[in-house]
Amino acid sequence: MTVLARKLANFSPVNDKDRRAIEDLFTVEKRYEAGSDIVTEGSVPPAVFTIAEGMACRYRLLADGRRQIMSFLLPGDLCDLHVFVLKAMDHSIAALAPTRIASAARDRIIDLLVYHPRVSAGLWWNEMQEHAILRERIVGLGRLDAAGRVAYLLCELYWRFQAIGMVRDHRFVLPLTQPDLADALGLTPVHVNRILQRLRQQELVEVGRRSVTIQDLERLQEVALFSNRYLHLGGAPEEIRSYFDQLEAERQRLERNGT
């Protein structure tokens, strides 16, 4: 669970009380092996969960069997705070590597939203970030050529792994195959392969089995027309931070009096 706290620290400082609130939230742990579904399309939405370790993706299978990966879930990523208001999942979530997830019951989430405004704000930030990631992917799929798309995805993953302290020497572990990348990028595995070779030969990035080494982030980001602004890693606006600190104090007072 420390990963989630580490991620939220990109929004605003997480004190011990916050950390405890988060840890109290996600109690049940479960393991999934690479390739297995964590949630299946059509099923009843599960409890809210977060990736404690490993990696997963949201995907949908088309009638003709093709797959499209919509987004990747990294350690510390949350699965839809509010998904429980829906009747059925409209997509599946699968583990891409051996993965540990931690779940939170619905009531606990709702209580947290009410009584821990500061942590809530962090979770909202997280949701806004996921929203922004989806939107950027739309821009990439709509307007970038194959090289741009591949570069884009690698840049995004670099910064997201960076934000949770999982990059060492411009290198991070990535348990994706080329067919996985193709399904995320709307390309064929064959073409992804050719692009990766080109990027390697241009000494921009080296994508090997299970790991990625960024050799020239600057130029890679140019190929992708990438800016990391949309990840909103710069922290909360000062005004918002103090607003929620204040709100938190109030709510907790109300809580003690009211019950």
Binding site for a second copy (CB under 8 A): 11, 44, 58, 60, 62-64, 66, 68, 70-71, 80-88, 90-91, 106, 110, 113-114, 117, 121, 124-125, 127-128, 130-132, 134-139, 141-143, 183-186, 225, 229-230, 232, 234-237, 240, 243, 247, 251, 254, 257-259
- The whole-angstrom separation of Cα 159 and Cα 152 is 11
168 binds, among a second copy, DNA, none (CB under 5 to 8 A by kind): none
Reduced to 3 states, what is the DSSP secondary structure of residue 211?
strand
- The whole-angstrom separation of Cα 107 and Cα 119 is 16
Residue holding tokens 């939230």? 25
- The whole-angstrom separation of Cα 68 and Cα 179 is 11
Q: Which is nearer to DNA, 193 or 215 (CB)?
A: 193
Q: Which is nearer to DNA, 46 or 175 (CB)?
A: 175
Cβ atoms within 10 Å, residue 249: 12
177 binds, among a second copy, DNA, none (CB under 5 to 8 A by kind): DNA
Q: Which is nearer to DNA, 69 or 102 (CB)?
A: 69
Minimum Å gap between C-beta 28 and a second copy is 20
Spell out the alpha helix ranges (H) of 48-201: 106-115, 117-143, 146-163, 178-185, 189-201
90 binds, among DNA, a second copy, none (CB under 5 to 8 A by kind): a second copy
Cβ atoms within 10 Å, residue 208: 11
Element (H, E) at 240: helix 238-258
132 binds, among a second copy, DNA, none (CB under 5 to 8 A by kind): a second copy
Radius of gyration (Cα) for the chain, nearest Å?
Answer: 19
Q: Which is nearer to DNA, 25 or 181 (CB)?
A: 181
Residue numbers at the binding site for DNA (CB under 7 A): 145-147, 177-179, 186-191, 193-194, 196-197, 209
190 binds, among DNA, a second copy, none (CB under 5 to 8 A by kind): DNA
Amino acid found at 87: K
Contact 120, 112 (CB under 8 A): yes
31 binds, among a second copy, DNA, none (CB under 5 to 8 A by kind): none
Minimum Å gap between C-beta 145 and DNA is 3
Task: Provide the token pair at 238.
Answer: 């000062």
Nearest to 8 by CA among 22, 27, 28: 22
Q: Which is nearer to a second copy, 24 or 124 (CB)?
A: 124
- The whole-angstrom separation of Cα 24 and Cα 119 is 12
Minimum Å gap between C-beta 191 and DNA is 3
Residue holding tokens 């969960």? 49
Minimum Å gap between C-beta 23 and a second copy is 22
Minimum Å gap between C-beta 161 and a second copy is 20
127 binds, among a second copy, DNA, none (CB under 5 to 8 A by kind): a second copy
